[in-house]
Amino acid sequence: MRARLVLWVFVGIAAVVLFLPILLGSGTFSLLVTLALGWSSFLQRTVPRLTWNWDLIGMALVSISIILFLAHKFLNGLSKSIAAKRGTAWSWPWKWTWSSLVALMLLFLVGMAVGGTAHQNGWIAASPESFLERPADPWQIGVEMGILESLGISSGDTEGKMKEVRRDFWKAKDENFPKQDVMSLLQKYHVLVVVDDQGTIQDTIIFPRDSLLREKFGGRNTLYGGKHNWESISGLLEKHQGHLVAF
């Protein structure tokens, strides 16, 4: 018996050593951990945000107490009446009333969980968004914003009016940056130019259209050079408000 136990322990350790790197490499292990312990991270995010409506809680406690008392009196009277007809003396115990209340509360929570699950499944099935989302690559975002910045939409390269800059840009042919690629980038990023009262371009501000991406990765600014955090970019937007034109 002991030898068989040692053998199974050895086989288990060998299986873990062999298959754990495969699970770690494929992401399956992290998926299993998330499925098993994901509720803990949910509680960490949700519990600090909870607020308590003490008026509603007090009313619920009073209502439950009244219902519990009336239900116990009704069941106790019914059981005494049945017992008297049978020639015995028996009363309905309080623990049965409490157990019934707990069972009803559990059924209520299960119903809420089922309803919430059905609602979320319906929302996911009807959503056009993909179930899987590739994490944002900071290097790729920097390169894409750099491409837009290098298209010559700046006063240093053109020293022209906004109308002429747009016309020259769409007429230009660039093998490195085909127009269809640039169009796809313009759908992902805001490209705003700062113009003076004469319509001459003074600066260019570029940042992602996605609010989460721009708060995380910021944007680019031509006049002050390079990449800046979102706080700096939003400061420039506020500073040049009224002189911004979308490219």
- Of 154 and 170, the structure prediction assigns the larger pLDDT to 170
Instruction: For helices 179-188 and 138-149, give the axis angle rounded to 10 degrees.
Output: 120
Give the chain's length.
247
Of the pLDDT bands very low, low, confident and very high (cuts 50, 70, 90), residue 97 is very high
List CB contacts of 247: < 8 A, sequence separation 6 or more: 153, 166, 186, 191, 192, 193, 204
The owner of tokens 């017992």 is 83
Predicted local confidence at residue 155, as pLDDT? 38
* 202 φ/ψ angles, rounded to the nearest 5 degrees: -110, -25
- 225 sits in the region (left: phi over 0; alpha: psi -120 to 50; else beta) called left
Q: How many CA atoms lie within 13 A of 114 on its CB side?
A: 6
- Dist. CA 100–CA 113, nearest whole Å: 20
pTM given for the model: 0.44
Q: Which of 207, 200, 203, 202 has the alpha carbon at shortest distance from 186?
A: 207
Predicted local confidence at residue 69, as pLDDT? 93
Predicted local confidence at residue 83, as pLDDT? 87
List CB contacts of 222: < 8 A, sequence separation 6 or more: 149, 154, 156, 203, 204, 205
Delimit the domains of the chain by residue range. 54-126, 138-246
The SS3 call for residue 78 is helix
By mean pLDDT, which of 54-58, 124-128, 179-183 is the weakest? 179-183
